[in-house]
Amino acid sequence: MALLNSLFGKKKKELKATCQITKEPIEKGFGYMLTTDQVVTSKRYWDMIMTEPETMSYTISHFQNQPSGTQMRSMIFDKYASVSKPWIVSDSIIGYFEVDKQEARKRAQAWWESEGAFAPEKTGPASALLSEGLFKTWKDYAVLEAGREKIKVL
């Protein structure tokens, strides 16, 4: 019977991961796991996000004092800050975050071992994890300041 099950039984789908920031594939057992509050409290992350080709026009508009650019940047912040699941990220992007890399690696390992079921204790939208003042500070940076240095160069 075991032979028949192995031949005709349903195969368990293999867990795969893609970096939620760079979109690069992450091999089984690798990567890092961050919570949304860890992601949104990174200046390097926001400077990168707000100057990507897809968002650069909003950033230029914002720094030219056009309300539509500022409004779009606020919507971008809200999109990322509201993520309620943990983030799996790659080796190439982990340096953007001031986190305990060993702990983030352990979390990713636990996620792989649990077939994607593991989530750290502090998981949820940033507004639920950060104090109101800290959340506002990071939103203000992301919306009002991120990418300013790159725009000066243009």
Instruction: Please tell me the predicted confidence (pLDDT) of residue 153.
Output: 53
Q: Per-10-residue mean pLDDT for the chain, 154 residues long?
A: 53 84 95 97 97 95 94 98 97 97 97 95 95 98 95 64
Best CA proximity match to 44, nearest among 92, 81, 95:
95
Instruction: Please tell me the predicted confidence (pLDDT) of residue 15.
Output: 87
> If you write DSSP's letter for every residue of 16-70 in order, what string do you get?
-EE-TTT--EE-TT--EEE-HHHHHT-HHHHHHHTTSTTTHHHHHHHHTT-HHHH
| Domain assignments of the chain as residue spans, ordered by start | 16-153
